[in-house]
Structure 1
Amino acid sequence: MTTATAVLGGGCFWCTEAVFLELDGVLGVKSGYAGGTVVNPTYEQVCTGRTGHSEVIRITYDPAVISYADLLRVFFATHDPTTLNRQGNDVGTQYRSSIFPETEEQTRIAREVMAEIEGRGIWGRPLVTTIEPLTVFYPAETYHDDYYARNPNAGYCRVIVAPKVAKVRKEFTDRLRRKTA
Protein backbone atom coordinates (compact mmCIF):
# COMPACT_ATOMS: atom_id res chain seq x y z
CA MET A 1 0.00 0.00 0.00
CA THR A 2 1.19 3.47 -0.87
CA THR A 3 0.61 6.13 1.77
CA ALA A 4 0.71 9.91 1.68
CA THR A 5 0.49 12.68 4.25
CA ALA A 6 -1.40 15.94 4.49
CA VAL A 7 -0.69 18.69 7.03
CA LEU A 8 -3.63 20.96 7.84
CA GLY A 9 -4.43 23.58 10.46
CA GLY A 10 -8.09 24.20 11.16
CA GLY A 11 -7.98 25.62 14.66
CA CYS A 12 -7.63 23.40 17.69
CA PHE A 13 -6.04 20.10 16.71
CA TRP A 14 -8.32 18.15 19.07
CA CYS A 15 -11.21 18.99 16.72
CA THR A 16 -9.45 18.28 13.46
CA GLU A 17 -7.94 15.01 14.68
CA ALA A 18 -11.37 13.69 15.70
CA VAL A 19 -12.92 14.70 12.38
CA PHE A 20 -10.34 13.02 10.17
CA LEU A 21 -10.20 9.82 12.20
CA GLU A 22 -13.79 9.23 11.02
CA LEU A 23 -12.75 8.91 7.37
CA ASP A 24 -12.12 5.75 5.40
CA GLY A 25 -8.59 5.72 4.05
CA VAL A 26 -7.18 7.74 6.94
CA LEU A 27 -4.58 5.53 8.58
CA GLY A 28 -3.57 7.88 11.37
CA VAL A 29 -3.61 11.45 12.60
CA LYS A 30 -0.93 13.17 14.67
CA SER A 31 -1.33 16.59 16.27
CA GLY A 32 1.55 18.99 15.95
CA TYR A 33 2.87 22.40 15.02
CA ALA A 34 4.05 23.90 11.72
CA GLY A 35 4.84 27.26 10.22
CA GLY A 36 6.65 28.88 13.12
CA THR A 37 10.11 30.02 14.12
CA VAL A 38 10.78 28.13 17.38
CA VAL A 39 12.50 24.74 17.13
CA ASN A 40 10.62 21.95 18.94
CA PRO A 41 7.95 24.22 20.41
CA THR A 42 5.81 23.15 23.33
CA TYR A 43 2.05 23.48 23.55
CA GLU A 44 2.49 26.20 26.15
CA GLN A 45 4.80 28.16 23.85
CA VAL A 46 2.50 27.82 20.84
CA CYS A 47 -0.52 28.90 22.93
CA THR A 48 1.11 32.28 23.52
CA GLY A 49 0.70 33.04 19.81
CA ARG A 50 4.28 34.28 19.67
CA THR A 51 6.01 31.30 18.00
CA GLY A 52 4.33 31.72 14.62
CA HIS A 53 3.21 28.09 14.61
CA SER A 54 -0.19 26.85 13.58
CA GLU A 55 -1.80 24.00 15.50
CA VAL A 56 -1.93 21.34 12.79
CA ILE A 57 -2.55 17.69 12.19
CA ARG A 58 -0.53 15.37 9.99
CA ILE A 59 -2.87 12.91 8.33
CA THR A 60 -1.43 9.67 7.00
CA TYR A 61 -3.78 8.29 4.38
CA ASP A 62 -4.17 5.83 1.54
CA PRO A 63 -4.60 7.88 -1.68
CA ALA A 64 -6.20 4.85 -3.34
CA VAL A 65 -9.09 5.21 -0.88
CA ILE A 66 -9.33 8.96 -0.27
CA SER A 67 -7.77 11.76 -2.28
CA TYR A 68 -5.95 14.84 -1.06
CA ALA A 69 -8.71 16.93 -2.66
CA ASP A 70 -11.39 15.08 -0.69
CA LEU A 71 -9.42 15.55 2.53
CA LEU A 72 -9.41 19.28 1.77
CA ARG A 73 -13.16 19.30 1.08
CA VAL A 74 -13.74 17.80 4.54
CA PHE A 75 -11.27 20.31 6.00
CA PHE A 76 -13.16 23.26 4.50
CA ALA A 77 -16.52 21.90 5.67
CA THR A 78 -15.52 21.37 9.28
CA HIS A 79 -13.93 24.66 10.32
CA ASP A 80 -14.48 28.33 9.44
CA PRO A 81 -11.89 29.22 6.79
CA THR A 82 -13.11 32.84 6.65
CA THR A 83 -12.03 34.08 10.09
CA LEU A 84 -8.47 35.32 10.34
CA ASN A 85 -6.51 33.77 13.21
CA ARG A 86 -9.65 32.52 14.93
CA GLN A 87 -11.89 29.49 15.31
CA GLY A 88 -14.84 30.28 17.55
CA ASN A 89 -13.53 31.42 20.92
CA ASP A 90 -9.98 30.28 20.09
CA VAL A 91 -8.09 33.40 18.98
CA GLY A 92 -4.49 33.76 17.82
CA THR A 93 -2.25 32.98 14.88
CA GLN A 94 -1.92 29.40 16.15
CA TYR A 95 -5.59 28.87 15.21
CA ARG A 96 -5.29 30.14 11.64
CA SER A 97 -6.79 28.19 8.81
CA SER A 98 -3.70 26.80 7.09
CA ILE A 99 -2.61 24.22 4.56
CA PHE A 100 1.01 23.03 4.51
CA PRO A 101 1.55 21.28 1.16
CA GLU A 102 4.49 18.92 0.92
CA THR A 103 4.65 18.90 -2.89
CA GLU A 104 3.87 21.15 -5.83
CA GLU A 105 0.99 18.80 -6.66
CA GLN A 106 -0.53 19.34 -3.22
CA THR A 107 -0.11 23.11 -3.64
CA ARG A 108 -1.92 22.97 -7.00
CA ILE A 109 -4.74 20.85 -5.57
CA ALA A 110 -5.08 23.14 -2.53
CA ARG A 111 -5.50 26.16 -4.81
CA GLU A 112 -8.02 24.32 -6.98
CA VAL A 113 -10.12 23.17 -4.02
CA MET A 114 -10.03 26.66 -2.50
CA ALA A 115 -11.25 28.11 -5.81
CA GLU A 116 -13.99 25.45 -5.93
CA ILE A 117 -15.15 26.29 -2.38
CA GLU A 118 -15.13 30.02 -3.05
CA GLY A 119 -16.86 29.53 -6.41
CA ARG A 120 -19.68 27.63 -4.73
CA GLY A 121 -20.12 30.44 -2.19
CA ILE A 122 -20.38 27.94 0.64
CA TRP A 123 -19.21 30.36 3.32
CA GLY A 124 -20.52 33.61 1.86
CA ARG A 125 -17.23 35.32 2.63
CA PRO A 126 -13.73 35.06 1.15
CA LEU A 127 -11.46 32.30 2.42
CA VAL A 128 -8.47 33.46 4.47
CA THR A 129 -6.80 30.04 4.56
CA THR A 130 -3.06 30.31 4.08
CA ILE A 131 -1.04 27.96 1.90
CA GLU A 132 2.40 27.75 3.49
CA PRO A 133 5.25 25.46 2.44
CA LEU A 134 5.89 22.74 5.00
CA THR A 135 9.43 23.14 6.25
CA VAL A 136 9.07 21.03 9.38
CA PHE A 137 6.31 19.30 11.33
CA TYR A 138 6.82 19.14 15.08
CA PRO A 139 4.74 16.44 16.79
CA ALA A 140 2.68 17.69 19.73
CA GLU A 141 2.99 16.19 23.16
CA THR A 142 1.48 12.71 23.44
CA TYR A 143 -1.29 13.80 25.81
CA HIS A 144 -2.96 15.45 22.79
CA ASP A 145 -3.22 12.11 20.95
CA ASP A 146 -6.77 10.75 20.66
CA TYR A 147 -7.93 13.60 22.89
CA TYR A 148 -11.58 13.45 21.90
CA ALA A 149 -11.73 9.65 22.09
CA ARG A 150 -10.24 9.77 25.59
CA ASN A 151 -12.28 12.77 26.81
CA PRO A 152 -15.69 12.67 25.08
CA ASN A 153 -17.50 14.09 28.12
CA ALA A 154 -15.16 17.03 28.70
CA GLY A 155 -16.96 20.34 28.17
CA TYR A 156 -14.84 21.43 25.20
CA CYS A 157 -15.32 18.07 23.52
CA ARG A 158 -19.09 18.04 24.03
CA VAL A 159 -19.63 21.63 22.90
CA ILE A 160 -16.96 22.11 20.18
CA VAL A 161 -15.62 18.77 18.95
CA ALA A 162 -18.75 16.59 18.97
CA PRO A 163 -20.73 18.85 16.57
CA LYS A 164 -17.86 18.78 14.07
CA VAL A 165 -17.73 14.97 14.23
CA ALA A 166 -21.52 14.83 13.84
CA LYS A 167 -21.30 17.10 10.78
CA VAL A 168 -18.77 14.79 9.11
CA ARG A 169 -20.92 11.77 9.86
CA LYS A 170 -23.94 13.51 8.30
CA GLU A 171 -22.36 15.25 5.29
CA PHE A 172 -19.67 12.74 4.32
CA THR A 173 -21.40 9.41 4.88
CA ASP A 174 -19.85 8.01 1.69
CA ARG A 175 -16.38 8.77 3.09
CA LEU A 176 -16.78 7.29 6.60
CA ARG A 177 -14.56 4.54 7.92
CA ARG A 178 -16.15 1.14 7.56
CA LYS A 179 -16.97 -0.33 10.94
CA THR A 180 -15.72 -3.88 11.44
CA ALA A 181 -17.68 -6.44 13.42
Structure 2
Amino acid sequence: MTKNLLLILTILTFLSCGNEEDKMIYKTKGGEFASKPGNFIADFPTEPNYSAIDNQIGLDKFQIHLFRSTLGPNKIFTIEYLDYPEYMINSMTDAQIYSQGVTNYSNKMDKAFKLEFQKSIEQHGLSGHYFVLNLKQNAIEKGIKGHIQATLFRKENRVYTVTYMGKDDKNVDPFMKSFRLIK
Protein backbone atom coordinates (compact mmCIF):
# COMPACT_ATOMS: atom_id res chain seq x y z
CA MET A 1 0.00 0.00 0.00
CA THR A 2 2.78 2.43 0.93
CA LYS A 3 4.68 1.62 -2.29
CA ASN A 4 1.55 2.24 -4.37
CA LEU A 5 0.92 5.57 -2.64
CA LEU A 6 4.55 6.60 -3.16
CA LEU A 7 4.35 5.61 -6.85
CA ILE A 8 1.13 7.62 -7.34
CA LEU A 9 2.63 10.69 -5.63
CA THR A 10 5.77 10.43 -7.78
CA ILE A 11 3.72 10.22 -10.99
CA LEU A 12 1.57 13.18 -9.93
CA THR A 13 4.69 15.20 -9.16
CA PHE A 14 6.12 14.58 -12.64
CA LEU A 15 2.81 15.34 -14.32
CA SER A 16 2.38 18.60 -12.41
CA CYS A 17 5.84 19.82 -13.41
CA GLY A 18 4.92 20.00 -17.10
CA ASN A 19 7.27 21.73 -19.47
CA GLU A 20 8.62 25.27 -19.40
CA GLU A 21 5.95 26.66 -21.71
CA ASP A 22 3.13 25.55 -19.38
CA LYS A 23 4.29 28.10 -16.81
CA MET A 24 2.77 31.56 -16.53
CA ILE A 25 6.20 32.98 -17.44
CA TYR A 26 9.21 31.36 -19.08
CA LYS A 27 12.56 32.41 -20.50
CA THR A 28 12.79 32.48 -24.29
CA LYS A 29 15.78 31.26 -26.29
CA GLY A 30 16.61 34.94 -26.90
CA GLY A 31 16.83 35.62 -23.14
CA GLU A 32 13.59 37.57 -22.78
CA PHE A 33 10.61 36.36 -20.78
CA ALA A 34 7.27 35.37 -22.24
CA SER A 35 3.82 34.39 -21.03
CA LYS A 36 1.59 32.25 -23.24
CA PRO A 37 -1.55 32.94 -21.15
CA GLY A 38 -0.59 36.65 -21.08
CA ASN A 39 0.30 36.55 -24.79
CA PHE A 40 3.35 38.82 -24.38
CA ILE A 41 7.15 38.91 -24.49
CA ALA A 42 9.32 41.43 -22.61
CA ASP A 43 12.94 41.96 -21.64
CA PHE A 44 12.70 41.80 -17.84
CA PRO A 45 16.17 42.20 -16.27
CA THR A 46 15.58 39.20 -13.96
CA GLU A 47 13.00 36.41 -13.94
CA PRO A 48 9.69 37.95 -12.89
CA ASN A 49 7.44 36.56 -10.19
CA TYR A 50 3.80 36.00 -11.06
CA SER A 51 0.75 36.68 -8.91
CA ALA A 52 -2.97 37.04 -9.54
CA ILE A 53 -5.13 39.51 -7.66
CA ASP A 54 -8.89 39.03 -7.47
CA ASN A 55 -10.80 42.15 -8.42
CA GLN A 56 -14.42 43.12 -8.86
CA ILE A 57 -16.31 45.91 -10.60
CA GLY A 58 -19.97 45.76 -9.66
CA LEU A 59 -20.97 42.11 -9.97
CA ASP A 60 -18.21 41.29 -12.45
CA LYS A 61 -15.28 39.38 -10.97
CA PHE A 62 -11.94 39.08 -12.74
CA GLN A 63 -8.24 38.77 -11.99
CA ILE A 64 -5.37 41.17 -12.43
CA HIS A 65 -2.33 39.18 -13.59
CA LEU A 66 0.92 40.68 -12.32
CA PHE A 67 4.50 39.93 -13.41
CA ARG A 68 7.18 41.71 -11.35
CA SER A 69 10.97 41.77 -11.55
CA THR A 70 13.19 43.76 -9.21
CA LEU A 71 16.78 44.94 -9.06
CA GLY A 72 16.78 45.79 -5.38
CA PRO A 73 14.08 47.75 -3.54
CA ASN A 74 14.32 50.85 -5.75
CA LYS A 75 14.01 49.33 -9.24
CA ILE A 76 10.74 47.55 -10.03
CA PHE A 77 9.77 46.30 -13.51
CA THR A 78 6.12 45.27 -13.88
CA ILE A 79 3.67 44.05 -16.48
CA GLU A 80 0.07 43.56 -15.51
CA TYR A 81 -2.94 42.71 -17.56
CA LEU A 82 -6.62 42.19 -17.01
CA ASP A 83 -9.46 41.02 -19.16
CA TYR A 84 -12.44 43.32 -18.81
CA PRO A 85 -15.95 42.02 -19.42
CA GLU A 86 -16.60 42.62 -23.13
CA TYR A 87 -19.76 44.67 -22.63
CA MET A 88 -17.81 47.05 -20.38
CA ILE A 89 -14.75 47.64 -22.55
CA ASN A 90 -16.43 47.53 -25.96
CA SER A 91 -18.32 50.70 -25.12
CA MET A 92 -15.03 52.62 -24.73
CA THR A 93 -12.51 53.82 -27.31
CA ASP A 94 -8.79 53.21 -26.86
CA ALA A 95 -8.34 56.92 -26.08
CA GLN A 96 -10.98 56.73 -23.32
CA ILE A 97 -9.38 53.61 -21.83
CA TYR A 98 -5.92 55.20 -21.88
CA SER A 99 -7.18 58.47 -20.40
CA GLN A 100 -8.99 56.64 -17.62
CA GLY A 101 -5.93 54.42 -17.00
CA VAL A 102 -3.57 57.40 -16.69
CA THR A 103 -6.01 59.22 -14.41
CA ASN A 104 -6.52 56.16 -12.19
CA TYR A 105 -2.78 55.46 -11.94
CA SER A 106 -1.95 59.12 -11.26
CA ASN A 107 -4.62 59.30 -8.54
CA LYS A 108 -3.33 56.10 -6.94
CA MET A 109 0.22 57.57 -6.76
CA ASP A 110 -0.91 61.13 -5.94
CA LYS A 111 0.68 61.40 -2.48
CA ALA A 112 4.24 61.19 -3.83
CA PHE A 113 4.05 61.55 -7.63
CA LYS A 114 2.61 63.95 -10.19
CA LEU A 115 1.90 63.39 -13.87
CA GLU A 116 4.58 65.16 -15.92
CA PHE A 117 4.27 63.85 -19.46
CA GLN A 118 2.10 61.69 -21.69
CA LYS A 119 1.81 60.85 -25.38
CA SER A 120 0.37 58.28 -27.78
CA ILE A 121 2.89 55.75 -29.07
CA GLU A 122 3.30 52.90 -31.54
CA GLN A 123 5.36 49.92 -30.42
CA HIS A 124 5.79 46.61 -32.25
CA GLY A 125 2.54 47.13 -34.15
CA LEU A 126 0.56 48.12 -31.04
CA SER A 127 -0.98 51.52 -30.45
CA GLY A 128 -0.60 52.62 -26.86
CA HIS A 129 -0.19 55.47 -24.44
CA TYR A 130 3.04 56.35 -22.60
CA PHE A 131 3.22 58.51 -19.48
CA VAL A 132 5.72 59.60 -16.81
CA LEU A 133 5.17 60.52 -13.17
CA ASN A 134 7.86 62.37 -11.24
CA LEU A 135 8.26 62.84 -7.53
CA LYS A 136 6.54 65.71 -5.77
CA GLN A 137 8.65 68.06 -3.67
CA ASN A 138 7.38 66.56 -0.38
CA ALA A 139 8.66 63.12 -1.43
CA ILE A 140 12.01 64.52 -2.57
CA GLU A 141 12.40 66.25 0.81
CA LYS A 142 11.90 62.85 2.50
CA GLY A 143 14.85 61.49 0.53
CA ILE A 144 12.84 59.42 -1.94
CA LYS A 145 14.43 59.06 -5.38
CA GLY A 146 13.06 57.83 -8.66
CA HIS A 147 10.22 58.17 -11.13
CA ILE A 148 7.53 56.09 -12.82
CA GLN A 149 7.28 55.30 -16.52
CA ALA A 150 4.26 53.41 -17.81
CA THR A 151 2.68 52.36 -21.06
CA LEU A 152 -0.89 51.19 -21.61
CA PHE A 153 -1.89 48.89 -24.47
CA ARG A 154 -5.25 47.42 -25.40
CA LYS A 155 -5.86 44.26 -27.39
CA GLU A 156 -9.58 43.51 -27.65
CA ASN A 157 -10.89 43.30 -24.05
CA ARG A 158 -7.42 42.94 -22.50
CA VAL A 159 -5.52 45.96 -21.17
CA TYR A 160 -1.79 45.74 -20.45
CA THR A 161 0.13 48.13 -18.20
CA VAL A 162 3.93 48.06 -18.56
CA THR A 163 5.58 49.95 -15.68
CA TYR A 164 8.97 50.86 -14.31
CA MET A 165 9.19 52.45 -10.87
CA GLY A 166 12.47 53.56 -9.33
CA LYS A 167 15.83 55.16 -9.89
CA ASP A 168 17.32 55.49 -13.35
CA ASP A 169 18.76 52.21 -14.63
CA LYS A 170 20.24 50.96 -17.90
CA ASN A 171 17.57 48.22 -18.07
CA VAL A 172 14.59 50.59 -18.19
CA ASP A 173 14.57 51.44 -21.91
CA PRO A 174 15.20 47.86 -23.08
CA PHE A 175 12.37 46.66 -20.83
CA MET A 176 9.88 49.39 -21.75
CA LYS A 177 10.58 49.17 -25.49
CA SER A 178 10.63 45.38 -25.67
CA PHE A 179 7.00 44.69 -24.74
CA ARG A 180 5.14 43.02 -27.57
CA LEU A 181 2.44 40.48 -28.15
CA ILE A 182 3.16 36.90 -29.16
CA LYS A 183 2.09 36.53 -32.78
Q: TM-score, normalised by structure 2?
A: 0.26
Larger strand share, 1 or 2: 2
TM-score where L is the length of structure 1 = 0.27
Greater relative contact order: 1 or 2 (C-alpha under 8 angstroms, separation 6 or more)? Answer: 1
Structure showing greater radius of gyration is 2
